Amino acid sequence: MTRPFPLVLSAPSGGGKTTVARALLARRDDVGYSVSCTTRPPRAGEVDGEAYHFLTTEDFEAEIAAGSFAEFAQVHGRWYGTRAAELRRVMAGGRHVILDIDVQGAEQIAAAFPDAVLVFLLPPSGETLLARLTGRNTDDRAAILRRMRNALEELRHVTRYHYVVVNDDLEQTLRRVGAILDAEVVRHARHEALDDRLAGLMSDLEQRLRAFAHS
């Protein structure tokens, strides 16, 4: 009944958005995931086409020139982008589409899709964020430093987001993001064919009223 919309999840690296996105996808059948493209190399265990579509810089830039991306940005010195066709694919299946993207991408999505919902996940503290970044064991010191600096920069953009959730406890975060989705789904403006539904309901009620009045 509700028109599918993009749900942007942003957080500094280590903010837990990938975990939150995966858990939402596992628990809800009304959401799908937009697999991004990137020029960064795959981390151990990342499968092409699942975590990301891993592209060469040349291919990525060719797609920029061809206008394939609904949004794209450089993050930590690499290209990242969301193909417009990927968003259409998920939404054409009737599902809301989760985008795990940075603040630059979020702004582009908000401009292109005014009905998009923007959620920022805040780490509970600097200490937790650093612990998550160093505990990942996939990045070297320089990469961790870059991600910490980028986290500071990203926090300056939180005001653009509709919702801010402190991601301290995963279950609580999932309840909160789930509640955001549930509320957004029933927003008046998102209902498809609401006029038809109301007209049907009113004519049904009128008939019943007449029948009842004459009984």
Residues binding ligand 5GP (CB under 6 A): 13, 36, 40, 71, 73, 75-76, 80-82, 100-102, 104-105
Q: In 3-state terms, the chain is what percent helix, strand and coil (to 5)?
A: 50, 20, 30
The number of helix segments (H) and strand segments (E) in the chain equals 8, 9
Our CB check for ligand 5GP shows the closer of 2 and 150 to be 150
Q: In terms of residues, how long is the chain? A: 215
104: left (phi over 0), alpha (psi -120 to 50) or beta: alpha
Least spacing, CB of residue 51 vs ligand 5GP, in Å: 7
Our CB check for ligand 5GP shows the closer of 71 and 184 to be 71
Of the candidates 7, 13, 2, 1, which has an alpha carbon nearest to the alpha carbon of residue 143? 13
Least spacing, CB of residue 73 vs ligand 5GP, in Å: 4
Our CB check for ligand 5GP shows the closer of 32 and 81 to be 81
Least spacing, CB of residue 201 vs ligand 5GP, in Å: 41
Our CB check for ligand 5GP shows the closer of 154 and 184 to be 154
Least spacing, CB of residue 47 vs ligand 5GP, in Å: 13
